[in-house]
Amino acid sequence: MKKILALALAFVFILSTAAFAAIAENQVTLGGLTPGVSVDVLISKYGQPRSKHGDEWRYRDFTVEVDQKRNAHYIEEISTTERGFLTAQGIGVGNTVQDLTNAFGRPSEIESKHGKDEYTYYSRTGRLKMEFKIAHGIIQKISYSMRD
């Protein structure tokens, strides 16, 4: 009886871990940036932003939200609606849902509102979140952030 129970629990565990993709944190990059990196890394790679509005810094192809509350300034969120600003897996705005699921697997969550879908993936540690906003089967916006 104990062996059957152990096998059943192992089977449930395997199914639950295979239910959605969890991405390694070093693969959670957008334009070569990862949430949590310092502002110094951002500036060394992309220079100064075109504009700053509080914690929001705007560049030509993307926007970042910077945590400036502590002395250690770092990127909290990276987002883009522009083509050519890619994930580590080569996915960007304009790619299809099929491209997305081929690269990342099944999302952790899918939310649908007003004919648009949002696919959410989490890093293996759960510390980082990736959101892909989709309309008519095409990625419209990508956001990577640190989870609250």
Predicted TM-score (pTM) of this structure: 0.82
- pLDDT tens figures, 66-109: 987 765 688 999 999 999 999 999 999 999 999 999 999 999 99
Instruction: Give domain 2-146's CATH number out of 3.30.70, 2.30.30, 2.60.460, 1.10.3470.
Output: 2.60.460
pLDDT tens, position by position, 104-129? 999 999 999 988 999 999 999 999 99
Angle, CA 10 vertex, CA 9 and CA 13 arms, to 5°:
85
Do residues 62 and 80 touch, judged by C-beta distance below 8 A? Answer: yes
Bin 4: left if φ > 0, else alpha if -120 < ψ < 50, else beta: alpha
**Residue whose structure tokens are 């952790």:** 108
